[in-house]
Chains A and B, each alone.
Chain A
């Protein structure tokens, strides 16, 4: 076969094809219509709809599975083919009542509608038959209407093999088949994680967002009493589908004037899913992902798909607030800005520029972060600026910068999904980066990808892994170094790669001496044969990706552990090729971008040091100001400086620092000592309670901008709604304040800010809004001509000599709270809520699924302490106390506890327990190193996790939709057999057989 491509003939015309493409792929690429309801590029062939029949070489075949071959002759137009396609579509319509004009899915993108219309079908061959099942309205976000379900299985395919949650199946064994959840339970009580994949891919209105029902159409809110006879009448008088479609198309076109579709980028994690938001006035009708979305395609997760109504929540801040005595009083913008200018100016004048700190937001845009650091450095004259990557990702960035040169993921999600082996260390992507996790789960399930998971908890990926290891807490560096040493001892290292592309080999090899298998076994508790197995799996894989997150980075030796991972990848030559590399999973939507665009004490945008006079000069010239030469305080330093009374004022935006920074009591008492504190947010947060001025900001849906996701991918988001009340986009607020200090800025649109940043930071030289239009994206570095770099280090590493560095690292023992504190406290996220929950607890459906936080306790500990689901316990650490309800689960083992961070309640938030100990290099708090003691307050109580949470569901794994079971049904006649029989005059018989 010609790898470069070949051509096939369809209907007498030549079409170019590539090896592996199906006839349907070739036709669609060449703009030739072949029907096909079950096939989508993201899901592949399902073979249920039987509408894509073509004649290839004299045989009727399904074009969605038949591969194009050189010289192939295909016909899609002959009577035989038309008859087969017509039969396929007619069988579909037996399952689906066409009442498009009064259907909420009549928005121009209904696959069933468009296919019937395109095929020119005039009438229904087999009368529609209702199914004997009621609609399932149990789930808070979507409903299933069996009567409209065409049984194409797209939803099942998406659930089984793309999301890989394995909840949906079609029960082909019933008299009337239908989609079922788990073992046929109401949707709300199933293992459904509410990711929305099934709804996203449904080709009709069988699965629909509840927020669309009765809202999308002009006539769809009609009560059933009127609607029923209306549908009957329409069917009675309709001369054919053509006329019906004419009306429904007019109606669909009318909808365009009131339903706005706007592209946005999700803000719930670092994966960077992009999709369209459908709105009617301020109402959010739905989130619809599209295949062209670079990171996620048609995928979403529970928060990205459903969690947006907080923008209209009545608790939104809509006016500036000024502290007066014991209360906040609403103020005008002028009053607030005047006060800020007076007070911040006063502090600066009295105590100096470095007496003020600036905390930026990883939830806000690149442009806003750029402008904020410009304000701090250029206008206010200090480098005291940092963002919340300090709480999570700085050690990973530092570990990568010292080994391979750039603080970002080595490749893209495409590389992760195409790796032969994925190693996940201290991360729970299935809950924290759900859509990225789907790519690993899919590759593992369908394409033979191997998976190693190292974690304290048996999270979902751990359950699915080929090898799940549970090292003792805080010992990852040891087993990683030991595995690396074993690989070297066995001579399995990539010698050529090391020789040509890596420095520091000798010193590094020497540093590994103490990391013998025996030492590792003793320290980590992992048996030596397991370590050998890990080394062997890495050795046997041609491409390895390592993914990690807070389980690595929130320790005192976090930068070193990150470095150890990078070292291992270098030793085995796993950089610079498809399917290889290091992937610290960025937690927030714009952690990467906030760092990239300079809200860090030592770096200008694009990771150029503030200490470099040439770089400083470039910025000083462009900004027309002077910039201090020494790096400023990071978050950790700022809190310390507040306690030392050196930092007098703080300006913070989009960060719930009072609950999210470690050792909350310490942080909050620091806030109490500030002379002046400005907090800018969309809600009145815990942090805002300490402010002197609270400024109402606008969330991502109310402004334009760009984010950088974990892949280093820069993507645009567009304004969907006007800012609520008097709230303003953060960049506008910065400009107003800067101008109060005489900056004289005049940015009219964020694109102008990006243009300025791109002109100054070589890493983003070619970035512009034009190049990011719609779903287009750029993965940095971006050269001036607009060429981006999805895969790093293909030719050289980001050091002057182009070579990577092996950096010797040693183990830092974790903080020990003392013998009294006998339980290990682990913490992190859960799927349903974001961060402390200021946005997601305001969503009714999400709160229905998870109403409150819980403490995970092992079966062993529950037995020992007589605990059960709902028991109330008090946890005490040397730093604070919380009270939480227990969930007993085998996800945690022995004396290890897991307390999710997702609560806004003072007596529950995990960071009242954590300490101010930190990574010795980057000052990232060691959140994961804490011991606590437990007292049982109430032995019995209402369980915190309701039974209708997916964690209690029962998955039903299978590959795809099991279409063979459909084909084996006694009432199924294969269409290619039937229409052939038809040629011989036996069609009626076949008809009867099918409809009997």
Chain B
């Protein structure tokens, strides 16, 4: 005969055994990674001496408050500009055709070289000599490129600010 029973005797996990097993697992990991662990301890020691941990702990304990302050600081016009400029900078770099950029950088390099050569020769410069140089194909190409660049930039400047506003909605 088996009467209905509800009583269940649960094995209470043996705390000592569980702890022993856990520390054995930890020791194994520690000894297998001795060098990394030792280096970390040195680092931690240094940080602790500097008081970094205390500061971090303070921040963690009060993370909502600290987070709110931090985000308030970030959420300022200056910071908006920093972020926007950063993003625009990245966007600008991305928009440059790489072939052209290569040519331009090559040109700047050669220009600098030429400039330093001219400086070393210490030749006397006269307006006449400079005017004569303007006629060379190299100078013409460079000036034409400059003019085109300025024209392009001017197009952006000349765009109505109203239209930009409209785009942003």
Within 8 A of A (CB), among B1-34: 1-11
In this assembly, does A690 line the interface, its C-beta being within 8 Å of a C-beta of chain B? yes
Residues of B within 8 A of A126 (CB): 169
Please, which residue of chain B has its CB at the minimum distance from the CB of A123? B169
CA A728 – CA B67 in complex, angstroms?
Answer: 45
- Whether the Cβ atoms of A327 and B7 lie closer than 8 Å is yes
Contact B68 A327 (CB under 8 A): no
Instruction: Find residues 96-124 in chain B having any chain A CB closer than 8 Å to their own CB.
Output: none
Tell whether B91 is near chain A: CB-to-CB under 8 Å: yes
- A834: which B residues are within 8 A, CB to CB? none
How many of chain A's residues have a CB under 8 angstroms from any CB in B?
39
Q: Are B1 and A672 in contact (CB under 8 A)?
A: yes
Provide the bound-state CA to CA distance between A722 and B53, in Å: 38
A326 interface residue per 8 A CB criterion: yes
Query: If A239-B91, A329-B9, A330-B10 touch, does A672 touch B169 (CB 8 Å cutoff)?
Result: no
Q: Does A223 contact B (CB under 8 A)?
A: yes
Q: Which residues of A contact B7 (CB under 8 A)?
A: 326-328
Task: Please tell me if B42 contacts chain A, counting CB pairs below 8 Å.
Answer: no
Select the stretch in B54-62, B81-89, B128-136, B151-159 that faces chain A. Answer: B81-89
Q: Given the interface contacts A233-B75, A328-B5, A689-B6, does A226 sit within 8 Å of B68 by beta carbon? A: yes
A124→B169 contact, CB < 8 A: yes
Q: Does B126 contact A (CB under 8 A)?
A: no
Bound-complex Cα distance A913 to B88 (A):
78
Shortest distance from the beta carbon of A344 to any chain B beta carbon, whole Å: 15
Please name all residues of chain A whose beta carbon is closer than 8 Å to the beta carbon of B36 when the two chains form the complex: none
**When the two chains form their complex, are residues A671 and B2 in contact, meaning their CB atoms are under 8 A apart?**
yes
Query: Contact at B169–A690, with CB atoms within 8 Å?
Result: no
A125 to B167, CA, bound (A): 8
Whether the pair A127, B2 counts as a contact (CB closer than 8 A) is: no
Contact between chains at B71 and A239 (CB < 8 Å):
no
Digitize A230-260: 1 where CB-to-B-CB distance is under 8 Å, 0 elsewhere: 1011001101000100000000000000000
B168 at the interface (CB under 8 A from A): yes
**A672, B71: Cβ atoms closer than 8 Å:** no
Q: Determine the chain A residues whose CB is within 8 A of the CB of B125 once the complex forms.
A: none
Which residue of chain B has the shortest Cβ distance to A127 in the bound complex? Answer: B169
Across the interface, do B80 and A233 meet the contact criterion of CB distance under 8 Å? yes
CA of A686 to CA of B80 in the docked complex: distance in angstroms?
65
Inter-chain contacts of B64 with A (CB < 8 A): 223, 225-226
Smallest CB-CB separation from A124: which chain B residue?
B169
Nearest Cβ in chain B — how far from A232, in angstroms? 6
Q: Is A791 an interface residue (CB 8 A)?
A: no
Give chain A residues whose Cβ lies under 8 Å from the Cβ of B91.
239
The smallest C-beta distance from B93 to any residue of chain A, in angstroms, reads 14
Report if A674 contacts B (CB, 8 A). Answer: yes
Q: Is the CB of B5 within 8 A of A323?
A: yes
B52 CB–A CB distance under 8 Å: no
A439 on interface, CB distance cutoff 8 Å: no
How far does the alpha carbon of A222 sit from the alpha carbon of B67 in the complex, in Å? 9
Partner of A229, one of B11, B68, B84: B68
Docked Cα-Cα span, A243 to B167, in Å, equals 16
A677 within 8 A of B: yes
Q: Does B74 contact A (CB under 8 A)?
A: yes
The answer to the question of B72 belonging to the interface, with a C-beta cut-off of 8 Å to chain A, is: yes
The answer to whether the Cβ of A492 comes within 8 Å of any Cβ in the partner chain is no
CB distance from A673 to the nearest CB of B (A): 6
Q: Are A230 and B71 in contact (CB under 8 A)?
A: yes
Check: A455 CB closer than 8 A to any chain B CB: no
Residues of A within 8 A of B168 (CB): 123
Q: Knowing A126-B169, A225-B64 touch, does A684 contact B8 (C-beta < 8 A)?
A: yes
Known: A123-B169, A230-B71, A236-B75. A243 touches B6 (CB 8 A): no
Write the chain B residue with the least CB distance to A327: B7
Would you give the shortest CB distance from B166 to chain A, in whole angstroms? 10
CB of B169 within 8 A of CB of A125, answer yes
Contacts of A328 in B (CB 8 A): 5, 7-9
Determine if A923 is an interface residue (Cβ-Cβ < 8 Å): no
Q: Are A323's CB and B2's CB within 8 A?
A: yes
CB of A712 within 8 Å of the partner chain: no
Question: Quick one: given A672-B3, A677-B2, are A229 and B169 in contact (CB under 8 Å)?
Answer: no
Residue contact B2 to A674, C-beta cutoff 8 Å: yes
Tell me which residues across on chain B come within 8 A of A124, comparing CB atoms: 169
- Tell me, in angstroms, the Cα distance from A415 to B7 when the chains sit together: 51
Query: With an 8 A cutoff between CB atoms, is A939 at the interface?
Result: no
> Would B5 and A673 count as touching, CB distance under 8 A?
no
How far, in angstroms, from A122 to B80 measured CA to CA in the complex? 19
Least CB distance, A624 to chain B, in whole angstroms = 35
Report whether B67 and A239 are in contact in the complex, using a CB–CB cutoff of 8 Å.
Answer: no
Within the complex, the shortest CB–CB distance from B95 to chain A, in Å, comes to: 12
Q: How far is the CB of A521 from chain B (nearest CB, A)?
A: 49
Task: State which of A125, A229, A239 has its C-beta within 8 Å of the C-beta of B87.
Answer: A239
CB distance from A535 to the nearest CB of B (A): 52
Bound-state Cα–Cα, A232 to B83, Å: 14
On chain B, the residues within 8 Å of A123 by CB distance are 167-169
Interchain nearest-CB distance for B26 vs A (Å)? 22
In the complex, A155 Cα to B9 Cα: how many Å? 50
Residue of A127, A230, A237 near B80 (CB, 8 A) is: A237
Residues of B within 8 A of A674 (CB): 2
- A668/B75 contact (C-beta < 8 A), A237-B87, A239-B84 known: no
- Decide yes or no: A692 and B2 within 8 Å by CB, A123-B169, A229-B75, A239-B87 being known contacts: yes
The reply to whether the CB of A305 lies closer than 8 angstroms to some CB of chain B is no
Q: Using Cβ atoms and an 8 Å threshold, which residues of chain B touch A692?
A: 2
- Shortest B104–chain A CB gap in Å is 25
Q: Which residue of B lies closest to A676 (CB)?
A: B2
Residue A374 CB within 8 A of the other chain: no
Residues of B contacting A24 with CB < 8 Å? none
A327/B5 in contact, CB under 8 A: yes
Which residues from 212 to 228 on chain A have a C-beta closer than 8 Å to any C-beta of chain B?
A: 222-223, 225-226
Interface flag for A321 (CB, 8 Å): yes
When distances are taken between beta carbons in the complex, the residues of chain A under 8 Å from B11 are 319, 330
Chain B proximity mask over A116-131: 1 for CB below 8 Å, otherwise 0: 0000001111110000
Let me know if A689 and B67 touch, CB within 8 A: no
Give the distance in Å from the alpha carbon of A632 to the alpha carbon of B72 in the complex: 77
B10 adjacent to A668 (CB under 8 Å):
no
Q: How far is the CA of A677 from the CA of B1 in the complex (A)?
A: 11
Question: What are the residues of chain A within 8 A of B74 when measuring CB–CB?
Answer: 229, 233
Q: Give Cα distance in the complex from A321 to B8, angstroms.
A: 8
- B80 in contact with A330 (CB, 8 Å): no
CA distance A674 to B1 in the complex (A): 6
State A126–B168 Cα separation when bound (angstroms).
10
Within 8 Å by CB of A327, from B9, B83, B88, B167, lies: B9
In the bound complex, residues from chain A placing their C-beta under 8 Å from that of B1 are 672-673
Which of B2, B80, B84 has the most C-beta atoms of chain A within 10 angstroms of its own C-beta? B2
CA distance A799 to B94 in the complex (A): 75
CA gap between A222 and B83 in the complex, in Å: 22
- By the criterion CB–CB under 8 Å, are A326 and B2 in contact? no
- CB-CB under 8 A from A684, the residues of chain B are 6, 8
Whole-angstrom CA separation of A786 from B20 in the bound complex: 56
With both beta carbons as reference points, the residue of chain B lying nearest to A232 in the complex is identified as: B75
Q: Which chain B residue shows the least CB distance to A225?
A: B68
Would you give the shortest CB distance from B84 to chain A, in whole angstroms? 5
CA distance A360 to B1 in the complex (A): 23
Q: Are B169 and A236 in contact (CB under 8 A)?
A: no
CB distance from A696 to the nearest CB of B (A): 12
Report the minimal beta-carbon distance from B25 to chain A, rounded to whole angstroms. Answer: 20
Which residues of B come within 8 Å of A, CB atoms?
1-11, 64, 67-68, 71-72, 74-75, 79-80, 83-84, 87-88, 91, 167-169
- Give 4 new A-B contacts, CB below 8 A, not counting A229-B71, A330-B10, A689-B4: A225-B68, A239-B84, A323-B2, A690-B4
Q: Which 8 A-B pairs have the closest CB atoms?
A: A689-B4, A327-B7, A233-B75, A226-B67, A237-B83, A330-B11, A229-B75, A229-B71
Instruction: Show 17 A/B contacts (Cβ-Cβ < 8 Å), sorted by A.
Output: A123-B167, A123-B168, A124-B169, A222-B67, A223-B67, A226-B64, A226-B67, A229-B68, A229-B72, A239-B91, A326-B7, A327-B8, A668-B4, A671-B2, A672-B2, A689-B4, A689-B5
